Chain A
Amino acid sequence: MKKILIVEDDKKIVAALTVRLKAEGYEAVAAFDAVMAGSVAAKERPDLVLLDISMPGGDGLLVAERLRKLPVPVNVPMIFLTASKKPGLRDQAMALGAAAFFEKPYEADQLLGAIKKALGES
């Protein structure tokens, strides 16, 4: 079973994503802030990371960079979700090697499609 790490400060969105991921046969683990993300990722070794960009206490883009620089780097596909419409965010995410970038509210079909594609399942 492929494991997906959700880094997102809104617990309801984490819950909604978890329902979707489980229904698709994935295991979902969550980190609720930028600081937790590193330790959860190091411990759980996910196959893919879903990241919110604007979180209190840290920016998802920085989290992604940090995960890539862990002692044992988390070099897995990363998909960003954001409620922000700040110009240039998509480009920044793509420059970091993001597999996909979605604005909130996201369309679950599209998100799941991107996850499958990033995991090489489609």
Chain B
Amino acid sequence: MERLTYCGSEVVRSARKGWVVMTEAPLRILIVEDDPVYRELYRTLLDLIGEHGGYRFLEAETGEAGLAQYRADRPNCILLDYRLPDFDGLEFLAALAGEDGQVPVPVIMLTGEGSEILVAKAMRVGAADYMPKSALSATSLRRSISNAVEKSKLRAAIAEQHRVLAQTNLELQRKNAEIQQFYHLLSHEMKTPLTSAREFVSIVLDGLAGPLSEAQREYLSYARESCDQMTLGLNDLLDSTRLETGKLHIAPQPGCISTLVARVVVSMTPQAQDKSIHVKQSIAPDLPQVLIDEKRIMQVLTNLLSNALKFTPEGGEVGVTVGNDPERPQWILVSVSDTGRGIEPTQLDHVFDRLYQVRSGDAAIEGGLGLGLYICREVVTLHGGGIWVDSTLGKGSTFSFTVPKCVPAIH
């Protein structure tokens, strides 16, 4: 066999493959076999093929000696006679296994007649392969070794990746908890100065600091609106951190969805009037009671309605529909539709994602924290319901969600 060194690597000429670059150290094979004839046979078979000459042999005659040799030399593969004077194959594997029960090195069992059942068992507890001594060939032995070594390398690489991933995951979880905690603190800490800013503006607006001109009144009312916007943003931030950490809980009670919807529509009337938007309500009569957390569903409705008003141009129309879900009798369907520009089909799947920002090309209606629809989805989901959007570009969007009807207790 010809060998030479090229650029620091060993290059070997093989009869079948021509010149092969040896990029790895030769494989160290531990042969644990009490019969010297067989030891000689294995060595010969492996050397005979001589494809890359990459084997170094270690030998042991007993299980004990084999284990000692394994610990001392850490071979790449073990060829194990199933019946040793002191151990059988299963015992040897058990002794070899680490604390985690894994056999740390590929072991190929070489078996005599009649040990098929035991061999099957050995494969289950971690042997890499087995070969009947009666049918050994150079090719099959070599292939078995290279497969076993390759598999064991891959397994080690995967285990290492798993370990790294698990560690990274843990680190990310810790960081995320830290960020959530910080957001929580931030929104809480911001609220105190915001309260005082808003309240002093209100005090002046209410005339407690003397009479105001029209312009002063107008400008201060803008300042107060901005304070309210900030409050909404901070509350969304708080809700979203609570959702992220699984700390947002709902307290559903029997309630009337029609009244709730009407109340939200009334509260949004000033915003609608500002843009001369007509809000068309269509509420089915005699709807049964629903099981909802009123405050939370109100938050969902307020959010959807305020989005609808935001995206609908001046003089447009916003519709609010409440009725039985035609497809599922146990649910009430609530829809809020706008006559805005609609949502790009590619964005439809993402509008409920946390921190997702709709890109419309219209700076005036972009922005926001990207939390509103995420919170809507989570709140509706906590109620067991679903939320979705249908949209036609140029015509508008309809956001719909379902809330559960009160089911009479079953006796």
| Interface status of A95 (Cβ within 8 A of chain B) | no
Of residues 64 through 106 on chain A, the ones whose CB sits less than 8 Å from some CB of chain B are: 83-85, 87, 104-106
Minimum C-beta distance from A102 to chain B (A): 10
Contact of A83 among B191, B198, B203, B249 (CB under 8 A): B191
Q: Write out the residue numbers on chain A whose beta carbons fall within 8 Å of the beta carbon of B200.
A: 12, 16
| Interface status of A108 (Cβ within 8 A of chain B) | yes
If A23-B208, A87-B249 touch, does A105 touch B188 (CB 8 Å cutoff)?
no
| Interface status of B150 (Cβ within 8 A of chain A) | no
Q: How far is the CA of A83 from the CA of B197 in the complex (A)?
A: 14
Say yes or no: A85 contacts B238, CB within 8 Å: yes
Contact of B192 among A10, A15, A20, A85 (CB under 8 A): A10
Of residues 4 through 38 on chain A, the ones whose CB sits less than 8 Å from some CB of chain B are: 10, 12-13, 15-17, 19-20, 23
Q: How far is the CA of A55 from the CA of B194 in the complex (A)?
A: 16
If A23-B208, A108-B206 touch, does A12 touch B235 (CB 8 Å cutoff)?
no
Q: How far is the CA of A105 from the CA of B225 in the complex (A)?
A: 12
Q: How far is the CA of A87 from the CA of B380 in the complex (A)?
A: 19
Say yes or no: A104 contacts B195, CB within 8 Å: yes
| Interface status of B23 (Cβ within 8 A of chain A) | no
Say yes or no: B191 contacts A108, CB within 8 Å: no
Total number of A residues with any Cβ neighbor in B under 8 Å: 18
Say yes or no: A105 contacts B206, CB within 8 Å: no
Say yes or no: A105 contacts B203, CB within 8 Å: no
Contact of B203 among A20, A54, A85 (CB under 8 A): A20
Say yes or no: B195 contacts A84, CB within 8 Å: no
Q: How far is the CA of A84 from the CA of B235 in the complex (A)?
A: 10
Q: How far is the CA of A5 from the CA of B194 in the complex (A)?
A: 22
Say yes or no: A83 contacts B188, CB within 8 Å: yes
Q: How far is the CA of A108 from the CA of B231 in the complex (A)?
A: 16
| Interface status of B202 (Cβ within 8 A of chain A) | yes
Contact of B199 among A16, A23, A83, A85 (CB under 8 A): A16
| Interface status of B196 (Cβ within 8 A of chain A) | yes
Q: How far is the CA of A23 from the CA of B200 in the complex (A)?
A: 13
| Interface status of B406 (Cβ within 8 A of chain A) | no
| Interface status of B58 (Cβ within 8 A of chain A) | no
Minimum C-beta distance from B234 to chain A (A): 9
| Interface status of B103 (Cβ within 8 A of chain A) | no
If A13-B196, A16-B199, A16-B203 touch, does A105 touch B191 (CB 8 Å cutoff)?
yes
| Interface status of B67 (Cβ within 8 A of chain A) | no
Taken residue by residue from 374 to 408, chain B's Cβ proximity to chain A (1 for < 8 Å, 0 otherwise) reads as: 00000000000000000000000000000000000
Q: How far is the CA of A35 from the CA of B200 in the complex (A)?
A: 27
Say yes or no: A105 contacts B194, CB within 8 Å: yes
| Interface status of B123 (Cβ within 8 A of chain A) | no
Minimum C-beta distance from B181 to chain A (A): 13
Minimum C-beta distance from A30 to chain B (A): 14
Q: How far is the CA of A99 from the CA of B203 in the complex (A)?
A: 24
Say yes or no: A13 contacts B191, CB within 8 Å: no
Q: How far is the CA of A15 from the CA of B200 in the complex (A)?
A: 9
Q: Write out the residue numbers on chain A whose beta carbons fall within 8 Å of the beta carbon of B228.
A: 105
Minimum C-beta distance from A33 to chain B (A): 15
Contact of B195 among A54, A83, A85 (CB under 8 A): A83
Of residues 223 through 267 on chain B, the ones whose CB sits less than 8 Å from some CB of chain A are: 227-228, 231, 235, 238, 247, 249
Minimum C-beta distance from B208 to chain A (A): 5
If A83-B188, A104-B191 touch, does A10 touch B206 (CB 8 Å cutoff)?
no
Minimum C-beta distance from A120 to chain B (A): 24
Q: Write out the residue numbers on chain B whose beta carbons fall within 8 Å of the beta carbon of A106.
A: 195, 199
Contact of B198 among A17, A54, A105 (CB under 8 A): A105
Minimum C-beta distance from B232 to chain A (A): 11
Minimum C-beta distance from B248 to chain A (A): 8
Taken residue by residue from 191 to 227, chain B's Cβ proximity to chain A (1 for < 8 Å, 0 otherwise) reads as: 1111110111011001010000000000000000001
Say yes or no: B196 contacts A10, CB within 8 Å: yes
Given A19-B208, A83-B195, A85-B188, 8 new contacts (CB under 8 A): A17-B199, A20-B199, A20-B208, A23-B208, A83-B191, A105-B228, A106-B199, A108-B199
Q: Which 8 pairs from chain A and chain B are nearest by CB?
A: A83-B191, A12-B196, A104-B195, A16-B199, A105-B195, A105-B198, A13-B196, A23-B208
Which residues of B are at the interface with A, using a C-beta cutoff of 8 A? 188, 191-196, 198-200, 202-203, 206, 208, 227-228, 231, 235, 238, 247, 249
18 contacts between A and B (CB under 8 A): A10-B195, A10-B196, A13-B192, A13-B196, A13-B199, A19-B203, A19-B208, A23-B208, A83-B191, A84-B188, A85-B235, A87-B247, A104-B192, A105-B195, A105-B228, A108-B199, A108-B202, A108-B206
